[in-house]
Structure 1
Amino acid sequence: MEPSNFRRWLTLAIISISGGVSFDLAYLRYIYQIPMAKFMGFSNTEIGLIMSTFGITAIILYAPSGIIADKFSHKKMMSFAMIVTGLLGLLMAVYPPFWVMIVIQVAFAITTILMLWSVSIKAASLLGNHEEQGKIMGWMEGLRGVGVMALAVFTMWVFSLFAPENPASLKAVILIYSGVYILLGVLCWFFVQDGFTVRSDESGTQKFSLKDITSVLKISTTWYCSLIIFGVYTIYAILSYSTNYLTEMYGMTLVAASYMGIVINKIFRALCGPLGGIITTYTRLKSPTRAVQLLSLVSIITLVVLLITNAHPSSVFIGIGLILLLAFACYASRGLYFACIGEARTPKYIMGTTVGICSVIGFLPDVFVYPLVGHWQDTLPAAVAYRNMWLLGLAATAMVLIFTALLIRNIRSHAVPAGTAKQPTQEFI
């Protein structure tokens, strides 16, 4: 492998892993909801409110994060964000009261969303040309998953070394995450490029300006991509309740369900993330949007079966199999939905802003899914609570089907006619 190419993929790995694991403390509930309630003293509703605080703040910050990605040094932003996130984790490890956790979640949103989110996606996007976007984004999601999975398995192993009632178990997990964040911040400084935003387009050299925000909002594909992300991300949020679902509906032990949660939310993410990119790179199905549409059909079928089995749960293996199938469709789609923005030929100089705006809309489920499902868990019988959750997922997936169809129609209507020479593309390595 050529050194320059090796460095490109190593840089992609550092960007991806940093972008992936940086959220794990903010989303600690995904695996450790029950220990959080036990050792930190929070109810399910309070934990949901902690999550929604992060989500609400994130929604406010996604669009500015896109402007930062187009205007400021990627290296400085990523390094500072990772180190400060690690320091916030040290504060979280003292098991602060509810109001301090709320403040920490706001600070997490500033470091991981405002300073890191759009920056990491654009920094990765600039590592490849237009034709490589499906591959780059797919591998980015996969490498994120590898980092998240490896760290989750290691921290779960450390957690299991403690006695079940020992509050130091969760504290050790938080401290490990904090140390890894600081180390990744140092690596970002040495490998990530500045990524300034002057780029060559067909009409000449253009630079991002604030008036381009209005232009991005006027593009119909911005809205189509946003709502595709919204639908897929709703399923992603719902999958975080897999541990609770298997425990309450099928009687799995907490440790077994927690390991299953790692398989569903971490290992499958690592395996399925690159799969979409591989499919669009090496098969006849070249369109990321079309691949997401087909995966949404798989999700709809799976959710219908989950609704049927939810009323009469019998075999835990059927429940696990259905959730794994839903996770496959979700994570493969996550590896492709930002490639849809590239497939729509969004100019590079406004790529960060487009990602930011799509993220504002696409990640709105962070605001309402967690407190809503937490409220259902606290106030309804388990079977009713999870029936409502699967119905919510079904409605979101139907949205994905509708807006992938609209985006495909738009892409085809603007396709280069046969026999017309393609515009040259520039590879940013």
Structure 2
Amino acid sequence: MNRRSQNSQLSRWLYMASLILAGDSIYLLVYMRQGFQTSMQEVFDISYTQLGIMNSMYGLLAITAYFAGGWLSDRVATRTLLSFSLFTTGLGGFYMATIPSYPMLLALHAFWGVSTILTFWAALVKAARLWGGSDDQGRTFGILDAGRGLVGAVMMTASAWVFSRSALAADGLVSVILLYATASVAAGVCVLAFIPADHAHGSLTHRDDNVAPEGQLSVVAKMPAVWLQALIILIAYWLYLGSFEFATFAEKAFDQDKVFGASLSAFREWLRPISAIAAGFLADRIRASRAVSIAFIISALGYAALAVIPGRADLLWMLWIQISAVAIAVFALRGIYFALMEESKVPLLVTGTAVGLVSTIGFTADIFAYPMVGWLLDTYGAATGYSYYFSILAGASVFGLLLTLALGWQNQRTTPANGY
């Protein structure tokens, strides 16, 4: 391999590394509850329901931004969109470290709903799809999510250590917030360093003569597979959000301390890179829809088991096994569900628009999931509330399986064997 080729490969992988770092760092602040829910309640003096409403506020603003973000990603350079998002999200984190009032926390999460979605999400997905080829989309998205999982695991482990070094929960939580805010800003610096400034990365300067720009939404909206994928992602993302409850479930139902909960969340994150990369290779071998189906089956069994496990200290070993099974399943789903676009032959030019439409529907779980679990816990208590919630998620997994089987049938019926 000559020097030019080596430099090209290095640039290619530094580009992916920047996407990986950006793709996880920007969401650390938004989803702090996965490891520090009880500490957030104590420090910010909020209830389960208030915390749920706070996250729901984020989801509400995010949903309004997904589609517009897809349109934007087809027109503006990746570097510009990603770096702006990372810097502004990090600045919001520095403000959160001042322990603002609950109304200001609501406003902050609304702000993050825009900064992490409108100028970020579709640009990230489109950049990843174009990084890979038509025959290795499973591996491409598997690498992206595996890398994001590795970053998340390192950050969760680091945050658990940082939190444990403080005698007071407030001091520990502030240290974690500052760590997460710094990570977002650092990721923005990497994007500026390793993504070319003039790289529109698949914008309308690279047109497919078969698809006119004004017809992008029309092309996407007429594809049944896109609507099915939106519902599949809705279920899969809801299952993923359900896994954020594992730390609190262990603390409340099994009477474990906050450090144990943070450590459990870190363990969960370490399963993500393994699950995502394995699912990516499996998807390329047996088709993405089949790999997604397998993950939904594992999720259904895992959540059903969590719904019935007694909260006894001598059964903690069983809790670890069940949580591992669910984590593997939901991270596999996250790693490959956007690879379904290639299987469904969504044209490259309309990728941003398709991502915007799919995400608008698929990520609505951010709106209803948190208030739902918050209401169940406040109404029935931790043990019974989580039993009900995990039962609902087991049922949702079965529904996701049925949707995926329908998508596989739709793709086989309408997609030419030689692609598009």
Q: By how many angstroms is 1:414 displaced?
A: 3.0
| 2:200 aligned residue (190, 194, 207) | 194
Task: Indicate conservation of the 8 Å contact 2:301/2:394, yes or no.
Answer: no
SS at match of 1:337: helix
Kindly provide the amino acid, as one letter, of the partner of residue 41 in structure 1.
D
CA contact (8 A) 1:70 1:208 kept: no
Q: Between 225-234 and 269-278, report the one with greater CA deviation.
A: 269-278
Describe how 1:392-407 pairs up with structure 2 within 5 A: 392-407=392-407
Give the C-alpha shift of residue 197 in structure 1. Answer: 3.2
Match of 1:272 in 2: 275
Partner of residue 317, structure 1: 317
Note the aligned Cα RMSD (angstroms).
1.8
Q: Which amino acid is 1:387 matched to?
A: S
* Letter of the 2:364 counterpart: L
Q: Which residue of 2 aligns with 1:53?
A: 57
TM-score, normalised relative to structure 2: 0.93
Which segment is superposed worse, 107-116 or 378-387?
A: 378-387
State percent identity of aligned pairs. Answer: 27
| Partner Cα separation in structure 1 for residue 406 and residue 310 of structure 2 | 33
Unaligned runs of 5+ in 1: 425-429
Deviations 1:218-239 (A, max 9, x none): 2101111011111111111111
Change beyond 3 A, Cα 1:423–1:34: closer
Residue matched to 1:178: 181
2:252 is aligned with what amino acid? E
- Post-superposition offset of 1:6: 2.6
Residue 362 of structure 1 corresponds to 362
- Superposition map of 1:175-254 within 5 A: 175-192=178-195, 193-195=199-201, 196-199=203-206, 201=208, 204=209, 206=211, 208-209=213-214, 211-254=215-258
For 2:169 and 2:315, the matched residues in 1 are separated by 33
- 1:132 aligned partner, one-letter code: D
Match of 1:343 in 2: 343
Q: Cα 1:410–1:351, aligned 2, differ >3 Å: closer, same or farther?
A: same
Q: Structure 2 counterpart of 1:170, which letter?
A: L
1:16 to 2:23 alignment: no
Per the alignment, residue 427 of structure 1 pairs with: none
The residue type paired with residue 404 of structure 1 is T
Shift of 1:415: 4.0
Alpha carbons 1:118, 1:352 under 8 Å: kept:
yes
The alignment status of 1:154 with 2:158, answered yes or no, reads yes
The structural deviation recorded for 1:312 is 7.8
Q: Which amino acid aligns with 2:320?
A: I
Looking at structure 2, the residues matched to 348 and 306 of structure 1 have their Cα atoms a distance apart, in angstroms, of 40
Q: What is the CA distance between 1:206 and its match in structure 2?
A: 4.4
Provide the C-alpha distance between the structure 2 equivalents of 1:175 and 1:313, rounded to a whole number of angstroms: 34
Cα deviation, residue 10, structure 1:
1.9
> Which AA in structure 1 matches 2:200?
D
Q: Is the CA contact (8 Å cut-off) linking 2:279 and 2:332 kept in structure 1?
A: yes
Which residue of structure 2 lines up, in the alignment, with residue 135 of structure 1? 139
1:180 & 1:326 partners in 2: Cα distance? Answer: 28
Counterparts of 2:304 and 2:189 in 1: how far apart (Å)? 46
3-state SS, counterpart of residue 113 of structure 1: coil
Instruction: Tell whether the 8 Å contact from 1:199 to 1:207 is kept in structure 2 after alignment.
Output: no
Mapped partners of 2:8, 2:245: distance in 1: 42
Deviation at 1:41, TM superposition (A): 1.5
Contact 2:91-2:181 within 8 A present in 1 as well: yes
Q: Residues of 1 paired with 2:261 and 2:100: CA distance?
A: 27
User: For residue 55 of structure 1, what is the amino acid of its counterpart?
Assistant: G
Q: Confirm whether residue 327 of structure 1 aligns to residue 331 of structure 2.
A: no
- Tell me how far apart the structure 2 counterparts of residues 364 and 214 of structure 1 sit (CA, whole Å): 22
TM-fit CA distance, 1:83: 0.7
Contact 1:197 1:207 survives alignment (8 Å) = no
TM-score, L = length of structure 1: 0.92
Q: 1:170-192: CA deviations, max 9, x gaps?
A: 11111122122112112112322
- The one-letter amino acid paired with 2:131 is L
Structure 2: distance between partners of 1:279 and 1:47: 37
Determine the structure 2 residue equivalent to 1:377: 377
CA distance in 1, matches of 2:186, 2:114: 19
1:156-210 per-position Cα deviation (integer Å, ceiling 9, x unaligned)? 21111110x2522211111122122112112112322321234464xx364533x
Q: What corresponds to 2:11 in structure 1?
A: 7
Residue correspondences, number: 412
Q: Which amino acid aligns with 1:357?
A: L
Checking the alignment, whether the CA contact within 8 Å between 2:307 and 2:388 is kept in structure 1 is no
Q: CA deviation at 1:212?
A: 2.0
Q: What is the identity, as a one-letter code, of the residue corresponding to 1:236? A: Y
Q: Deviations over 1:259-308 (max 9, x none)?
A: 012211x2112221111112234xx42x0111000121122222332233
Shift of residue 249, structure 1, vs aligned partner = 1.8
Identify the residue that residue 304 of structure 1 maps to in structure 2: 304
Poorly superposed stretches of 4+, deviation over 6 Å: none
Q: Kindly provide the amino acid, as one letter, of the partner of residue 273 in structure 1.
A: A
Measure, in 1, the Cα distance between the counterparts of 2:393 and 2:205: 40
* Counterpart position of 1:390: 390
3-state DSSP of counterpart to 1:131: coil
Residue 79 (1) aligns with residue 83 (2): yes
